[in-house]
Amino acid sequence: MTTGPVHGTWEPAPAARWEDAFLSGNGHHGALVFGDPNVDRVIVTHHTLVRPNGGEHARPPRLAAELPALQDRLLAGELTAAESFTDGRPLQWVQPFHPAFRTELRGPTGTWHLPQVLDSARTGGTPTRRTVDFTTGEVTAHCGDRTSRVFVSRADDVIVQHVTAPDLTQDISLDHRLPGAPDGLGVGHGALRTPDGALLTLRVRYPGSDRAYTGVSLVVVEGGSTTLTPPGVRVEGAASVLLLTRVRRHTGELDVAEEARALRALLTEQPYEDLLDRHLAHHRTAYDRVTLDLRADPAERALPGSELLKQPGSAALLERLFAAGRYHLLSAGGLLPPRLTGLWTGDWDTAWSGAFTTNANLNLQTASATAAALPEVTEALARLVHRQLPDWRENARTIFGARGVVAPSHTDGESGLTYHFSREYPLHLWTAGADWLLKPLVDHDETRGERDRRTAAALAEAALFYEDFLTRTDDDGHLVVVPSYSPENRPANASWGALNAAMDLSAARHALLTAAAYHPEHADRWRALADRLPPHRINADGALAEWAHPGLDDTYDHRHLSHLYGVWPLDEINPYDTPDLAAAAHRALELRGAENDSAHGHLHHALIAARLRDAGRVAHALGDVLGGDFFHDSLMSAHYPARDVYNADAAHALPAVLIEMLVQSTPDRLVLLPALPAGHPTGELCGVRTRFGAGLDLAWTPEGATAVLRPTRTHRIELVTSSGAEPLDLVAGEDRVLTLGTW
């Protein structure tokens, strides 16, 4: 019997859908592994693969000269004025993310067929089992005496696939023909003999573009014979086959010979084992940092994922989804942070272009990175931010006539320019994005006790934008954020572009105060500007209003909770320092509907509820997701119930919810067990990082709890438990054990 949490998942049959394929990735390359013994398919992806669609040439709208007139009209009460603040362009989507190709190892006709394999699994015939080991990133498929193993190396940036079987006969090819592939792709195949196998290449040029990508697979064969069968290769009578695969996006021609030499340089006496060992030094070290044990039933822990998903109240399911969420988040973060689909897709028609959506989704997906000890993911986010700062400057200058930076709501990872907007989604009006994207980088600095110069520079530019943008005042002398946009909602009695959205107020205040902390030489100026912002408004329902400007009525039934940005991820509104505002925020949360049942809305709700110490709401929101059939057999999630639209929001955000209900920290405060649902009375969370520079292990039972703090710096914090608040002195290098009474 399993005695601890399962750090992996398994299924008794191959994947029949690409959405159920098990996942591996290194933050650059991704692999979707089906585990079919007859047609052993692996879909290959890469973060850089986005299809030219015109977005690569799009620029932000030149509207700066028209901004003063728009501000005048909005301030005068013309609440539809922002609808004309456009250059008249149609909606332009960012370049869509897409898969590269699939590798196929096809056995002799009649060896195995998927219906046979599925039937075998049901009737107890030839054992069929596919697994993914979260600790290694290795996906394995066993059927009879055939074994296929796949992982994506973090050390060598290569997809590694190793197949063993007696008298192995396989036809091997690279196939670009995946669902949704557009007409007009320019496709070229290559197959060359090598001393120990073959080299397969696939070059794909996008229609009407000089951009292309090339896949290269080095096929290494042990024993048997190898025959070129262009565009593939046939292997007969072998003991094993090893494939090393890479993808490169490029313009012009790629030096395939150089790529082949690089792959051959990875070969050793035991290439698979040596490649895996090098990879584990990076992957396992990161994955093992944090674990969650809810003392689940060992019998439930032993179930395949598809069966466990049928038990939404199971502690074993939460354990496995926590582990899977950290695994998939780590696997998707590297060159870039996770997209809407993480790092994976099997279809060229990805929903919402498979973009990075920065007004909620990306931020929710990376929410656990600091506390769950995944600095690799935070660094991936930092790469996206710092690479796009020149584009953010152009957004600020072109749309608002300001210095500094404005982040877009959607990006394909190449361009950070704002060009995706429409009348109903006036995303070009949104100014809070830079603050939200920089917040995790600030949290990371707090955790390690050092300030990154890149983050400091970006914060200064965010503050410069507000210096230039915040020039209008109301009758009380407060600054007015105008125009202002609350993603992706609108007032009940006005248009989308309005005034003083709560999110914009919180973001401006936070950006200015944080920049002041990083830059003492400018602190007085930026703090004074922050002090001139208006307070939040409490509406007639006793709720924190989504728009602080008087006369703008709330629209409650919406998937986004942008107005509660001050609660989560910020610390501006909390039950300890601002109890009245926290009560108003809680009322706003009570009134909020789920609209279209998006997974990100439910988990965003749970994160805010945890900050407000509402364990019942956390449990309800988790129940909506766990009971709504949001997870595929791969344990990757969907955007809507009934596994509708492949999307990583729920999979990646769920670990953040579980941590927040157990542990919350700021640079000066530790909150223990603030919102633990009653259904999980016993457990242990180990390895969490706090923003005051200490590692934390927490164990709890109905009789009490124990926390072990391992501080890296000397500091006094406030400890908050169900018993109240008290000061706690920490000394660098000295473990501190806390024993708590019943909670």
Q: Using one digit for the tens of pLDDT, what is the confidence trace for 343-375?
A: 999 999 999 999 999 999 999 999 999 999 999
Is residue 399's pLDDT more than 70? yes
pLDDT at 109: 60
Report the distance separating Cα 157 and Cα 521, nearest Å. Answer: 43
Model confidence, pTM: 0.96
pLDDT at 597: 96
Domain spans in the chain, listed from the N-terminal domain onward = 9-49+97-280, 56-92+358-571, 683-740
Confidence of residue 128 (pLDDT cuts 50, 70, 90): confident
Amino acid at 274: D
Q: Which helix (H) or strand (E) is 286 found in, with range?
A: helix 271-287
Distant-in-sequence, close-in-space partners of 457: CB < 8 Å, separation ≥ 6: none
Encode pLDDT of 422-465 as tens digits. 999 999 999 999 999 999 999 999 999 999 999 999 999 999 99
pLDDT at 4: 84
pLDDT at 741: 77
- In this structure, which topology does domain 56-92+358-571 adopt according to CATH? Glycosyltransferase (1.50.10)
Encode pLDDT of 580-635 as tens digits. 999 999 999 999 999 999 999 999 999 999 999 999 999 999 999 999 999 999 99
* Residues linked to residue 141 through DSSP beta bridges, in sequence order: 130, 148
Q: Write out the DSSP string of 305-364.
A: HHHHTT-TT-HHHHHHHHHHHHHHHHHH-SSS--BTTBT--S-SS-GGGG-EETTTHHHH
Handedness of CA 71, 73, 78, 83 (dihedral sign): negative
Q: What is the mean pLDDT of residues 691-700?
A: 98
| Gap between the terminal Cα atoms of the chain | 31
Encode pLDDT of 152-209 as tens digits. 999 999 999 999 999 999 999 999 999 999 999 999 999 999 999 999 999 999 999 9
Q: Tell me, what DSSP letter sits at residue 535?
A: P
Encode pLDDT of 542-554 as tens digits. 999 999 999 999 9
Q: Strand, helix or coil at 57? A: helix
pLDDT at 127: 67
Confidence of residue 647 (pLDDT cuts 50, 70, 90): very high
Report the distance separating Cα 17 and Cα 646, nearest Å. Answer: 11
Confidence of residue 742 (pLDDT cuts 50, 70, 90): low
Is residue 490's pLDDT more than 70? yes
Q: Helices (H) and strands (E) in the chain — how many of each?
A: 17, 27
Handedness of CA 365, 370, 374, 378 (dihedral sign): positive
Report the distance separating Cα 363 and Cα 567, nearest Å. Answer: 14
Dig out the tokens for 723 from the structure: 């018993």
Shortest CA distance to 684 belongs to which of 662, 703, 667, 664?
662
Report the distance separating Cα 242 and Cα 594, nearest Å. Answer: 48
Q: Which of 11-20, 107-116, 323-332, 637-646 has the lowest mean pLDDT?
A: 107-116
Q: Average pLDDT, whole number, for the chain?
A: 95
pLDDT at 121: 44
Encode pLDDT of 198-212 as tens digits. 999 999 999 999 999
Contact present, 445 and 456 (Cβ < 8 Å): no
Handedness of CA 124, 127, 129, 135 (dihedral sign): positive
CATH class of the structural domain 9-49+97-280: mainly beta
Question: Whose structure tokens read 């009971």?
Answer: 627
pLDDT at 2: 46
pLDDT at 116: 45
Q: Which helix (H) or strand (E) is 591 found in, with range?
A: helix 579-591
Q: Tell me, what DSSP letter sits at residue 192?
A: E
Confidence of residue 115 (pLDDT cuts 50, 70, 90): very low
pLDDT at 307: 98
Handedness of CA 118, 119, 123, 128 (dihedral sign): negative
Is residue 723's pLDDT more than 60? yes
> How far are the Cα atoms of 56, 704, 724 from residue 741, in angstroms, in the given order?
59, 5, 12
Contact present, 157 and 25 (Cβ < 8 Å): no
Question: Whose structure tokens read 């931020």?
Answer: 363
**For the chain, what is the radius of gyration of the CA atoms?**
26
